[in-house]
Chain A
Amino acid sequence: MFRAVDPPEPPFTFTDAALAAAIFAFLLAGTCAMLNLPAQPSPLVHDVAANLRASGLGNPVNAVLLNFRAYDTLLETGVIVVALVGSWMLATDASWTLAPGNFVTRHPVEPPLVVLIKALVPLVAISAFYLLFVGSEEPGGAFPAGTMLSAIGILLILARIAPPPARAGRSIRWTVAAGFMVFALSGSATLLVGREFLDFPPSSAKAVILIIELSLAPSVAMALLLLASGLPVEPGRDTPA
């Protein structure tokens, strides 16, 4: 699709040199500022440790992500959805309901690749599920698991074991939407019991967070898969690569 010719470097002009000098000056100033920073970490370290039991999780990073600062994670899920819808909108009117084309090639699939992928996929799937559940105590959680699941999806499409998902499908839309919906609705349910938005009671926090992660992982997986799959092949054009 892109001609693989390395373009010549544009000449280094006077403005470029002036810009480089300005940025270098800024770098020096910033480094000076950095050398004067406090050597002690933030007092938040103690706050997190003190409230860790109440958060329902043992892993402090995930406790911050899914409990103390859960609103950030909710918005971040929204960012993924927005980027996905944005990429859907970049297709033309004629092709936007067709399957995306990045992993579809004209060449026949080579059997060794299929064998390798068939061997890899179950291993990666086990790792993904492990990461999802272990996130409560160790590093892991919905986002790493979702990323691995989307990698599985890409491998399956490359091996022609599964077709690339066409975006118009109802199940695709629900999968993508589920993560944000479950998250927002769980946070709103806490309002019904007289607590704040996203205020999970310590006794049930772990369970609620697990439910949120269970719906977030496939959501993130599908969104990342679709984002990586790019645009549909235009009718009348050659398939890429």
Chain B
Amino acid sequence: MDAQAQLLAPALLLPATAVFPALLGVVALVLGRRAVPLVPLLAVTVIGLAVAHLTAIVWQHSEVTVALGGWQAPLGIALRLDGLATAFLLMTGTVASGIAIYALVEYRHPAGGESRAAYGFWPLMMFLWAGLNTIFLSRDLFNLYVALEITSLSGIAMVGLNGEAAALVAQMRYLLFATLGSLFYLMGVAFLYAETGALDLAVIAGRLQVGPSASTAVVLTTLGLLLKTAIWPLHFWLPPAHARAPTPVSALLSGLVVKGSLYLLIRLWFELYAPVLDQVAWMVPGALGGVAVLWGSALALRQERLKLMLAYSTTAQLGYMLFAFPLAVAGPVEATQAWTGMVVLILAHGIAKAAMFLAAGAIVAVLGSDERVALAGATRLVPVPLFALALAGLSMMGLPPSGGFLGKWLMLRAAIGAGQWWLVAILVVGGLMAAAYLFRFLVPAFLPASEGKPDRPAATGLMGGAAIALALISILLGFVASPLNRLIAPAMPAGLGAG
């Protein structure tokens, strides 16, 4: 009975993780003001428990598959949980929880009425969460397209929530290019279906041969997903969208949404395309990532507004995650190290960047501005959010002990072991540049202003608390190297790292 209950649970938990947030979103749509705080708290608790249970399952069984509708793939759609999916589910659950707490403070309904932004935020956030969880679990290429669309559309819909002109322009740009990326991806899927007659990842992997249609599919899907992940040179749409959006939305977009398309890119290359790609092809994402790190960091250095700096920093940090691609064709040890490093970097960035955006939001709520000059000496007024910013910044710079350090260190070791010195150089230089663009904001903020009597610190309450909590988690990630390794390393698809 115990074994049966154990096996029954994934059949419930996997679809529940994907669908329950959406169901809550629809409930929030109907109930409006009465849905708060019930819906967000219910979502965080239930999905949190589900993901915790799923982690325990993966810990023991290393992977679980569920055939939706009772139909085996490729006729039906399958959901599969492995170490990689679990890591991303954990990241999403953690970040979404922190953002939900922040948003409960930011979006309040007036007494006896209903605020527009507060009404719309919760259904959209719930659908975004559902879409992301589907991306992590689904094994069907077309299902992944619909999941990408629901995630993107939810994010897009939230960008203009505050109604400012600049935000609306950024929203339109984001909508146009997100749709363009999805269409490229879908055209690639059309070629894959045409060639192999299936949409399931495992089935296609078994049937895909080297040839012109495979190459076309690779190029099309990769272009589409690189655009959606804002990798240089397709990154231009991200900084205005992430900077102009309301704070909790920026945290969702930079922390989570871009990781969705990145996850899909990783799945496609490492699981599907690996047998049909040659060594040179693997260098391309790495090279683009390298330029992204340098270009994005250089642009971040020039920013005078905190949220814009953070947005450009996202475009830079995402570049590091692509370094696992050229290292995937190095020796098995290096490939596994790079794989684990990549996932840890993604987790650390998602959590730390969300923390930094929430901290920025708390700062703006008190100071009224996120300009660098306005932040000078701000430690008197907003010590808690600034501390969160600094803590998360540690992870972003890759300083020990933090999740960012762990990820970077793994990636460095892999790069050194594989003799890819250009990656080593960019990792080091990028870390220095990150320190520079973060210190530019933090150091003046922490130095007390010379004139004026000291003000009493403003209470940022739960907003600052959410930021601190996420920042602390990004640091704590650096202390759980062994469990992370145990979870993530076996998830790397076999056949890579053949040297």
Complex A–B touching at CB under 8 A:
yes
Within A65-96, which residues are at the interface with B (CB < 8 Å)?
Answer: 67-72, 74-76, 78-79, 81-83, 85-86, 88-93, 96
A88 / chain B contacts, CB cutoff of 8 Å: 116, 119-120
Chain B nearest CB, measured from A106 CB (Å): 26
Enumerate chain A residues within 8 angstroms of B485, measured Cβ to Cβ.
Answer: none
Known: A33-B215, A72-B143, A72-B146. A173 touches B68 (CB 8 A): no
Residue B197 is within 8 A (CB to CB) of chain A in the complex: yes
A74 CA to B74 CA in the complex, in Å?
A: 18
A197 to B131, CA, bound (A): 17
Q: Which residues of B contact A81 (CB under 8 A)?
A: 25-26, 29, 123, 127
Measured in the bound complex, the distance between the Cα atoms of B161 and A217 in whole Å is: 29
Count of A residues near B, CB < 8 Å? 60
Partner of B69, one of A30, A71, A92: A71
Whether the Cβ atoms of A75 and B143 lie closer than 8 Å is: yes
User: Looking across the interface, which residue of chain B has its beta carbon closest to that of A191?
Assistant: B12
Q: Are A72 and B75 also in contact (CB < 8 A) when A36-B212, A200-B69 are?
A: no
Question: Is A196 in contact with B11, judged by CB distance below 8 angstroms?
Answer: yes
A180 touches B26 (CB 8 A): yes
A83 and B197 contact, CB distance less than 8 A: no
Q: Which residue in B11, B71, B117 is a CB contact (below 8 Å) of A51?
A: B71
Fill in one digit per residue for B96-124: 1 if any A CB lies within 8 Å of its CB, else 0: 00000000000000000011110110011
Contact call A37/B120, Cβ cutoff below 8 A: no
CA distance A37 to B23 in the complex (A): 41
B26, B70, B116, B153: which contacts A83 (Cβ < 8 A)?
B153
Stretch from B187-195, B298-306, B469-477 contacting the other chain: B187-195
Contacts of B26 in A (CB 8 A): 81, 177, 180-181, 184
CB closest residue in chain B, given A74: B19
State how many angstroms separate the Cβ of A42 from the closest Cβ of chain B.
Answer: 3
Q: In the complex, which residues 137-169 of chain B have their Cβ closer than 8 Å to any Cβ of chain A?
A: 140, 142-143, 146-147, 149-150, 153-154, 156-158, 160-161, 163
B478 at the interface (CB under 8 A from A): no
The CA of A215 and the CA of B143, in the complex, are separated in Å by 23
Q: Does A115 interact with chain B (Cβ within 8 Å)?
A: no
- Assuming the contacts A51-B71, A196-B11, A198-B69, asked whether A96 and B116 have C-beta atoms less than 8 A apart, the reply is yes
Residues of A within 8 A of B142 (CB): 69, 72
Q: Which residue of B lies closest to A83 (CB)?
A: B153
- B77 contacts the other chain (CB 8 A): yes
Minimum CB–CB distance from A50 to chain B (whole Å) comes to 9
Q: In the complex, how many angstroms separate the beta carbon of A78 from the nearest chain B beta carbon?
A: 5
Q: CB-CB < 8 A to A97: which residues of B?
A: 114
Interface secondary structure of A, over-half rule: helix
Q: How far is B143's CA from A79's CA once the two chains are assembled, in angstroms?
A: 12
Q: Which residues of B contact A199 (CB under 8 A)?
A: 68-70
The reply to whether the CB of A17 lies closer than 8 angstroms to some CB of chain B is: no
- A-contact bits for B284-296, CB 8 A (1 contact / 0 none): 0000000000000
Would you call B483 an interface residue if the criterion is a C-beta within 8 Å of the partner chain's C-beta atoms?
A: no
| A174 interface contact, C-beta 8 A | yes
For residue A33, give the distance in angstroms from its CB to the closest CB of chain B: 4
Contact A82 B143 (CB under 8 A): no
> Is B365 an interface position by the 8 A CB rule?
no
Q: How far is the CA of A90 from the CA of B160 in the complex (A)?
A: 7
Cβ distance B104 to chain A, nearest Cβ, rounded Å = 18
Give Cα distance in the complex from A36 to B27, angstroms. 49
Q: A33-B213, A68-B76, A177-B26 are in contact. Are A198 and B198 (CB under 8 A)?
A: no
A174 touches B213 (CB 8 A): no
Q: Are A89 and B216 in contact (CB under 8 A)?
A: no
Chain B residues within an 8 Å CB radius of A92: 116, 163
A75 interface neighbour in B30, B146, B160, Cβ under 8 Å:
B146
Known: A33-B191, A197-B15. A85 touches B123 (CB 8 A): yes
Residue A108 is within 8 A (CB to CB) of chain B in the complex: no
**Residues of chain B at the chain A interface (Cβ within 8 Å):** 8, 11-12, 15, 19, 22-23, 25-27, 29-30, 32, 66-71, 74-77, 114-117, 119-120, 123-124, 127, 130-131, 134, 140, 142-143, 146-147, 149-150, 153-154, 156-158, 160-161, 163, 191, 193-195, 197-198, 211-213, 215-216
**Apart from A184-B19, A191-B12, A196-B15: 14 A-B pairs, beta carbons within 8 A:** A34-B213, A69-B76, A78-B22, A83-B153, A85-B29, A89-B158, A89-B160, A91-B116, A92-B116, A93-B115, A174-B30, A177-B26, A196-B69, A197-B12
